[in-house]
Amino acid sequence: MGWREVVQTVLWLAVVGVILFASAGDWYWPQAWTFLGEIGVSAFLLVSWLARHDPALLKSRTSSPFHRDQRLWDRLFMIGAGIAVVGWMVLAGLDARRFRWSSLPFLAQGLGAILVAACMILSWQVFRANSFAAPQVRIQAERGQVVVTTGPYRMVRHPMYAAAIIYFIGVPLLLGSAWALLPVPLFIAAFGARAIGEERMLRQSLPGYDAYADRVRFRFMPGIW
């Protein structure tokens, strides 16, 4: 892992921390420190693993969120998603610490920590299986992209989105904010719409994806959707 990735990870953690603690108005927020510690350790482990095993994927995931081959609708999605996530974290800080509109029991917070860890583990499994797991919706012709059918892709077509959904449920629980759970169905719907758009592109442009999609029926969760 190079200094560039270290600096990027530290800056990302710092920005997340500032958003949470500024909205909470309280730097002594144990749940937020637990959350930052958990995602910080996980991020450094993932980045270190990618640096050793898949530098091309690491470069893809730590470069600009926008790419010249990316669909316009996906650029707009990522801008909207970034704004929504910042607002979501602000809501969690306002709710759980500044105004205390709601509270969650310790067991729920523990479950949230487990879900965040599960998200990170599933993300690692995705990276192990799919060297083309770029953050943008695009065909990576320059890297000879092929259909991936191993690892978690044997069970669902979009395991990275499944990991994100687990994350968006786990974070409000860990932070102790019931209000921050309210936008989660909207996030899931947005991921669903993006998955449908992505599959339309893959069916048109990636040989073998039609057969894979016919074989693996579910997008996010086996038996549900």
| pLDDT one-digit tens code per residue, 6-27 | 888 899 999 999 999 999 999 9
Confidence (pLDDT) at 1: 58
Mean pLDDT score of the chain, rounded to an integer? 94
For the residues 72-90, what does the mean pLDDT come to?
95
In the chain, the percentage of residues whose pLDDT exceeds 70 is 99
pLDDT at 118 over 70: yes
What tens digit of pLDDT does each residue of 53-70 get? 999 999 989 888 888 888
* Residue position matching structure tokens 């259909």: 147
pLDDT level of residue 71 (50, 70, 90 thresholds): confident
Confidence (pLDDT) at 129: 96
pLDDT at 151 over 80: yes
For the residues 88-92, what does the mean pLDDT come to?
98
pLDDT level of residue 75 (50, 70, 90 thresholds): very high
Going along the chain from its start, the domains and CATH numbers come out as 3-215 (1.20.120.1630)
Q: What is the DSSP string of the chain?
A: --HHHHHHHHHHHHHHHHHHHHHHT-S--HHHHHHHHHHHHHHHHHHHHHHHH-HHHHHHHHS-S--TTS-HHHHHHHHHHHHHHHHHHHHHHIIIIII------HHHHHHHHHHHHHHHHHHHHHHHH-TT--SS-S--GGGT-----SGGGGT-S-HHHHHHHHHHHHHHHHHT-SGGGTTHHHHHHHHHHHHHHHHHHHHHHSTTHHHHHHHS--SSSTTT-
In the chain, the percentage of residues whose pLDDT exceeds 90 is 82
Confidence (pLDDT) at 139: 86
On whether the pTM is more than 0.85, the answer is yes
Confidence (pLDDT) at 196: 95
What tens digit of pLDDT does each residue of 158-200 get? 999 999 999 999 999 999 999 999 999 999 999 999 999 999 9
